[in-house]
């Protein structure tokens, strides 16, 4: 599933708000003639986009898989589109069976904001030192207690996560931060980017090691705005929703 998150109050269903789950469930109910609940690989916040979100639901019985994306897209709003449908085992959960999640955070690094990209990048007018940000990103990778980089802690469970990779790619005025990891804490990517931007613009003296060690949200940087963030894709045992040319593009 792909969406422009600008005009959604996030993925998770809320009775009085426009949400991705709410729109999907409304259209699925119409197609299948009964109530359907969806589960997402990543419960994105308000304003966050997705290129390769994966959603599972119990359709109960035979489904014309080939026609499902076209039927859904005909009824969904234009800022929410379904790219593909596939059948999975009865116990499959888009959330709990995900092996790795891929996020991209896009920063436009120039003096003036961009009219064309305004919904899809965070504008940082300060000069950024890519080398310093890359060194800090390397420190962030690995298995750590990410309490300092967590918005709302999970209800029960550990704050330890393994961040497999943070790649920083510059394409002229655009800086792309690519994150790969099995799972992420609430706002972990946006707080990480906010902290890396403070390091890159020379506004921060604490190292990533010190920030991690503090285990306190107040030790890290500001949460970067949602517009720059994309859930790029999700990997499962036998399927990956990441666009096929995603890593290749990163190599350019």
Catalytic residues: 45
Contact positions with a second copy (CB under 8 A) in 153-172 = 171-172
Q: How far is the CB of 117 from a second copy (least distance, A)?
A: 9
How is residue 10 written in tokens?
A: 């996030």
Question: 79 - beta bridge partners?
Answer: none
Contact positions with a second copy (CB under 8 A) in 89-148 = 111-116, 118, 120
10 Å CB burial of residue 42 (0-12, 13-18, 19+) is buried
Q: Please give the DSSP secondary-structure letter assigned to residue 41.
A: S
Q: How far is the CB of 60 from a second copy (least distance, A)?
A: 24
Does residue 49 touch a second copy according to CB under 8 A?
Answer: yes
219: nearest Cα among 143, 148, 158: 148
The residue count for binding a second copy (CB under 8 A) is: 32
Contact positions with a second copy (CB under 8 A) in 170-209 = 171-173
Does residue 252 touch a second copy according to CB under 8 A?
Answer: yes
* Site string (55-94) toward a second copy, x via CB under 8 A: --------------xx--x----xxxxxxx----------
Residue 120's CB: how many other CB atoms inside 10 A? Answer: 17
Does residue 245 touch a second copy according to CB under 8 A?
Answer: yes
| DSSP letters spanning 58-96 | ---S---TTTHHHHHHHHS-TTEE--------TT--TTT
Beta carbons of 222 and 198 less than 8 angstroms apart: yes
Note the residues at the interface with a second copy (CB under 8 A). Answer: 2-4, 49, 51, 69-70, 73, 78-84, 111-116, 118, 120, 171-173, 230, 243-245, 249, 252
């Amino acid at each position: 599933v792909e969406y422009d998150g600008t005009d959604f109050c996030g993925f998770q269903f809320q009775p009085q708000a426009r949400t991705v789950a709410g729109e999907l469930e409304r259209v699925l109910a119409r197609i299948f003639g009964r109530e359907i609940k969806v589960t997402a690989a990543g419960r994105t916040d308000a304003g966050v986009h997705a290129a390769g979100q994966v959603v599972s639901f119990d359709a109960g019985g035979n489904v014309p898989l080939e026609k499902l994306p076209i039927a859904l897209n005909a009824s969904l709003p234009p800022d929410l589109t379904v790219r593909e449908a596939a059948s999975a085992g009865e116990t499959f959960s888009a959330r709990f069976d995900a092996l790795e999640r891929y996020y991209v955070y896009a920063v436009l690094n120039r003096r003036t904001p961009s009219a064309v990209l305004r919904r899809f990048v965070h504008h940082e007018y300060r000069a950024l030192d890519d080398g310093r940000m890359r060194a800090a990103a390397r420190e962030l990778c690995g298995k750590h207690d990410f309490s300092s980089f967590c918005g709302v802690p999970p209800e029960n469970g550990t704050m330890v996560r393994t961040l497999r990779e943070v790649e920083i790619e510059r394409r002229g005025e655009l800086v792309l931060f690519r994150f790969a990891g099995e799972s992420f804490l609430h706002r972990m990517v946006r707080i990480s980017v906010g902290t890396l931007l403070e390091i890159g613009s020379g506004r921060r003296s604490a190292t990533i090691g010190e920030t991690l060690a503090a285990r306190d949200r107040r030790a890290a940087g500001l949460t970067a705005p949602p517009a720059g963030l994309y859930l790029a894709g999700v990997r499962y045992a036998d399927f990956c929703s990441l666009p096929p040319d995603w890593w290749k593009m990163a190599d350019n």
